[in-house]
C-alpha cells in the first residue's frame, strides 16, 4: 500500500570518453580520452504522488593512449618562497565512487518540489572530478502554465581544490632556469582539472501547447566563485573567478 519499490542494477562501458579542456596557452584540448566502465544500483520508491531515489555507482577509467598520467602532486620548493607542483605518482587508470539521492514530491494544490544531490569521490588522482552538487526546484502547475524557481550548486572538494589553487598561484621568476616552461606546465595542469565552484538561480515557466509539447522561458543567473571549468579563461591571466553571468 505504500507504493512500488524497485531496485535497478546495471553495468555498462563506454570505450571512448573525451575530456575537453580549454588551455589558456593553447586553446581547446581534446587529447585526453578514457575508456570507462560504470556499475551501480538505484533504489526507487514510487508512491501515489512522490518518488524517492538513492543510488550508488562505481566508475573505473583507463587512459586510452596507454601512457601514464600524473596521479598525486606535491609542492616542490625552490627556496625563497618559490616553488612548483610536480607529480609524485603516475597512473594509467583511476576510479570514482558516486552517491546520489533524489526526491520528487507533490505538495498539493498544484505545488511540487524536486531535488537531486550527488557526491562524486575521486580516487587515485589529484586532478580529477571530486565534487558535491545538487539542485532544488519548486514549481506550481496553473492551468497550462508551470512557473518554477530552481537553485543549484556544484563545488569541488578536498585535495583537488588545494592543488588547483596551488597550481594557479605558482609564479616562478624569470631568473630561474626554465621558469617559462615551469609556469606553462603549471597552467596546463590547472586548466585540465575539472574544477567547479559555482551556483545558479533560475526563474522560468513552461506553457503546454499540447499534452506532448511545451514552450519554456527561463532566466538564469550564475555566480562563479574560485573558478569553473565551464568557462574558458582568456590567455595571459588567471582563470575567470568571482564573476556572474546571465543566461536567457
3-state secondary structure 112-172: EEEEEEEEEEECCCCCCCCEEEEEEEEEECECCEEEEEEEEEEEECHHHHHHHHHHHHCCC
Q: Are 164 and 227 spatial neighbours (Cβ–Cβ below 8 Å)?
A: yes
The yes-or-no verdict on residue 49 having pLDDT over 80 is yes
What tens digit of pLDDT does each residue of 207-230 get?
999 989 999 999 999 999 999 999
Cell of 86: 610536480
Cα–Cα distance between 81 and 187 in angstroms, integer? 19
Predicted pLDDT of residue 79: 85
**What confidence category does residue 124 fall into, taking pLDDT thresholds of 50, 70 and 90?**
very high
**What confidence category does residue 32 fall into, taking pLDDT thresholds of 50, 70 and 90?**
confident
| Percent with pLDDT over 90 in the chain | 83
Average pLDDT of the residues in 118-146: 96
Average pLDDT of the residues in 116-141: 96
Cα–Cα distance between 68 and 81 in angstroms, integer? 30
What is the chain's mean pLDDT, rounded?
A: 94
Cα–Cα distance between 121 and 161 in angstroms, integer? 13
What tens digit of pLDDT does each residue of 6-30 get?
999 999 999 999 888 899 988 888 7
Amino acid at each position: 500500500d505504500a507504493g512500488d519499490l524497485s531496485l535497478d542494477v546495471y553495468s555498462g562501458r563506454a570505450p571512448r570518453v573525451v575530456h575537453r579542456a580549454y588551455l589558456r596557452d593553447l586553446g581547446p584540448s581534446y587529447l585526453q580520452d578514457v575508456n570507462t566502465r560504470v556499475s551501480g544500483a538505484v533504489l526507487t520508491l514510487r508512491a501515489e504522488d512522490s518518488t524517492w531515489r538513492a543510488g550508488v555507482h562505481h566508475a573505473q577509467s583507463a587512459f586510452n593512449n596507454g601512457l601514464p598520467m600524473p596521479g598525486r602532486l606535491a609542492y616542490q620548493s625552490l627556496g625563497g618562497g618559490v616553488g612548483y607542483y610536480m607529480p609524485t605518482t603516475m597512473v594509467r587508470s583511476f576510479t570514482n565512487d558516486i552517491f546520489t539521492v533524489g526526491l520528487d514530491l507533490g505538495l498539493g494544490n498544484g505545488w511540487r518540489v524536486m531535488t537531486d544531490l550527488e557526491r562524486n569521490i575521486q580516487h587515485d588522482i589529484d586532478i580529477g572530478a571530486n565534487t558535491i552538487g545538487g539542485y532544488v526546484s519548486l514549481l506550481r502547475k496553473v492551468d497550462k502554465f508551470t512557473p518554477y524557481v530552481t537553485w543549484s550548486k556544484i563545488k569541488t572538494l578536498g585535495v583537488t581544490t588545494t592543488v588547483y589553487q596551488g597550481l594557479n598561484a605558482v609564479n616562478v621568476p624569470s631568473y630561474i632556469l626554465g621558469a617559462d616552461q615551469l609556469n606553462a606546465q603549471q597552467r596546463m595542469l590547472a586548466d585540465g582539472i575539472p574544477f567547479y565552484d559555482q551556483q545558479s538561480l533560475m526563474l522560468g515557466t513552461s506553457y503546454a501547447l499540447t499534452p506532448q509539447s511545451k514552450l519554456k522561458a527561463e532566466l538564469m543567473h550564475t555566480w562563479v566563485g574560485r573558478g569553473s571549468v565551464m568557462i574558458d579563461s582568456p590567455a595571459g591571466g588567471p582563470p575567470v573567478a568571482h564573476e556572474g553571468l546571465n543566461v536567457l
